[in-house]
């Protein structure tokens, strides 16, 4: 017999159904998942040996949890995945606005149903997807919003006195009874509002407007907070922190490979884009390296962090730039090019918080610098270091490439050329082909042109070449002024 076919309280008792607390549900289901060798938090990358074990210990301990970390560290995503650790369905008294447990009703309505109808009390079943509630903490949140208040309209409509508990309007927390309740950005709650959570966390109950009765709430609390908030906008008051069972520190991915997994999982790319736009592996690495550079940049406020959303938005913008070239050039498909990275700047500027905020051009300049640094730092991992001073008469690894530009001053890559023309144009630089064959021999044919353009951009960053951009094209030339035929 499926439990969801049970329609009355009497049938529920006859089936010997045992109602568990939400924390016990989470623990039991976590134990079952781990015992089966499965991952309770799929699609969370980079936390396997840090955050996830701490989270599992907190659930086994039946603790309320505070996820503390900078922006874009999957705090809310983790909280939402906890839904999967709940029982698929739980019984409630039908019509109850606080999901009354039929064996232990807490509201006036629930108690009256059991007292009046007894075993004939109607039962409904709530799916776990409906047992998640979330509130973004803002300074204007009130105790009435979270806990509840006396509703004078109810009193008038039902001709009740204010001493009757039926005049109560429940806030978000009582309505989240038997649910996971998430409060995001906890420090933004005013201190007096944080005080109202004391009893809920410690004793599991709440009082409204001095009523003598208490509601024994059954809630799994998950809070999220950004350490920046402790100094900029507010703080979690000490007595509240003391009542939260587990504080878990989140972090950014430590390697490019992990960062790529997250970006490729979260980026919203449709099938049409994936079918006609090819993104070289190196292009994906550059995107992640840009984010790594931003997190260590002296121009960006480290306390605010740099969200993983920067990489996600950058990949989406990069693919869209190539797609736009397809549409304007009338091509059926194309490959991402380094010239497409200019399109990343609008996706980046809103996600970096500068140490000194100035004109809008300031954030744009910083974004351009981050792209340049990412290219330069990836380049020196694959190719020989460029020495500032080279021995006279001794050719360095890049001498022949630079000499080619001295002899062929006018080299441009128009934005809208098709892939065949793009490939053939870059193939004219024979020393560049020889350089790649020596240092990156495993580069695939499909990625070859992107690698060539990458080397040119890196030589610009290393002051071996100069680059200019005019409407509709990108050009490269040597750095000697006497040979410059165009101005920046």
pLDDT in tens, 313-322: 999 999 999 9
Distance from CA of residue 434 to its chain's centroid? 42
Residue of 81, 67, 66 lying closest to 26 (CA atoms):
81
pLDDT per residue as tens digits for the range 107-121: 889 999 999 999 999
The strand pairing partners of 414, in sequence order, are: 473
Strand order in the sheet with 411-414: 411-414, 473-478, 465-470
Q: What is the pTM of this model?
A: 0.86
Q: Does 152 score more than 80 pLDDT?
A: no
By the 8 A CB rule, do 436 and 455 touch? yes
Mean pLDDT of 57-66: 97
Cα(64)–Cα(201) distance, rounded to whole angstroms? 8
Cα(326)–Cα(329) distance, rounded to whole angstroms? 5
Task: Set out the domains of the chain in order of their start, with CATH numbers.
Answer: 3-249 (3.40.50.300), 256-382 (1.10.8.80), 399-483 (1.10.10)
Mean pLDDT of 153-173: 76
Cα(275)–Cα(330) distance, rounded to whole angstroms? 16
Mean pLDDT of 397-412: 90
By the 8 A CB rule, do 120 and 168 touch? no
Q: Which residues of 91-103 are buried (b: 16+ CB within 10 A; e: fewer)?
A: bbbbebebbbbbe
Helix H or strand E encompassing 126: strand 123-127
Q: Which residues of 456-475 are buried (b: 16+ CB within 10 A; e: fewer)?
A: bbbbbbbebbbeeeeeeebb
pLDDT per residue as tens digits for the range 234-248: 688 999 999 999 999
Cα(451)–Cα(479) distance, rounded to whole angstroms? 21
Which DSSP symbol is given to 350?
Answer: T
Q: Does 392 score more than 70 pLDDT?
A: no
Strand, coil or helix: 213: coil
By the 8 A CB rule, do 138 and 187 touch? no
Strand order in the sheet with 220-225: 132-136, 180-184, 220-225, 65-68, 246-249
CA–CA–CA angle 238, 241, 243 (5° rounding): 115
Q: Which residues of 270-304 are buried (b: 16+ CB within 10 A; e: fewer)?
A: eeebeeebbbbebbbbbbbbbbbbbeebebbbeeb
Q: How many CB atoms lie within 10 A of CB 198?
A: 14
pLDDT per residue as tens digits for the range 65-108: 999 999 899 999 999 999 999 999 999 999 999 999 999 998 88
Which DSSP symbol is given to 186?
Answer: G
């Amino acid at each position: 017999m499926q439990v969801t076919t049970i329609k009355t309280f009497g049938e529920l008792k006859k089936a010997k159904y045992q109602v568990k607390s939400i924390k016990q549900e989470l623990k039991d289901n976590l134990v079952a998942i781990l015992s089966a060798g499965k991952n309770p938090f799929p699609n969370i990358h980079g936390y396997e040996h840090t955050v996830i074990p701490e989270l599992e210990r907190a659930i086994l301990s039946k603790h309320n949890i505070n996820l503390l970390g900078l922006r874009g560290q999957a705090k809310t995503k983790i909280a939402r995945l906890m839904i999967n650790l709940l029982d698929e369905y739980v019984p409630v008294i039908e019509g109850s606005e606080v999901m009354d447990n039929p064996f232990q009703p807490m509201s006036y309505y629930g108690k009256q149903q059991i007292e009046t109808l007894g075993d004939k009390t109607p039962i409904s079943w709530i799916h776990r997807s409906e047992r998640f509630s979330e509130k973004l903490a803002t300074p204007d949140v009130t105790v009435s919003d979270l806990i509840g208040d006396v509703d004078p309209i109810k009193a008038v409509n039902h001709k009740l006195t204010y001493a009757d508990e039926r005049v109560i309007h429940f806030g978000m927390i009582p309505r989240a009874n038997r649910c996971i309740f998430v409060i995001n950005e906890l420090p933004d709650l005013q201190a007096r509002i944080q005080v109202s959570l004391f009893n809920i966390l410690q004793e599991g109950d709440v009082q409204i407007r001095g009523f003598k009765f208490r509601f024994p709430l059954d809630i799994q609390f998950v809070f999220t907070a950004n350490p920046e908030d402790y100094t900029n906008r507010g703080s979690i008051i000490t007595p509240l922190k003391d009542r939260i069972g587990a504080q878990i520190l989140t972090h950014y991915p430590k390697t490019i490979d992990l960062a790529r997994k997250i970006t490729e999982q979260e980026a919203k790319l449709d099938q049409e884009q994936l079918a006609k736009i090819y993104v070289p592996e190196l292009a994906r690495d550059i995107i992640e390296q840009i984010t790594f550079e931003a997190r260590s940049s002296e121009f960006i406020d480290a306390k605010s962090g740099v969200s993983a959303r920067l990489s996600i938005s950058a990949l989406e913008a990069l693919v869209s730039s190539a797609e736009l070239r397809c549409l304007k050039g009338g091509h059926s498909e194309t490959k991402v090019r380094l010239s497409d990275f200019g399109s990343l700047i609008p996706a980046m500027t809103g996600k970096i918080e500068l140490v000194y905020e100035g004109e809008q051009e300031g954030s744009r300049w910083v974004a351009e610098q981050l792209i340049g640094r990412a290219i330069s730092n990836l380049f020196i991992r694959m190719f020989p270091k460029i020495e500032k001073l080279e021995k006279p008469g001794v050719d360095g690894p890049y001498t022949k490439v630079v000499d080619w530009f001295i002899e062929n001053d006018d080299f441009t890559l128009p934005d809208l050329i098709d892939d065949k023309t793009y490939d053939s144009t870059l193939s004219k630089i024979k020393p560049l082909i020889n350089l790649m064959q020596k240092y990156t021999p495993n580069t695939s044919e499909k990625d070859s042109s992107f690698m060539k353009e990458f080397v040119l951009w890196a030589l610009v960053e290393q002051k071996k070449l100069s680059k200019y951009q005019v409407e509709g094209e990108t050009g490269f030339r040597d750095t000697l002024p006497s040979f410059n035929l165009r101005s920046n």
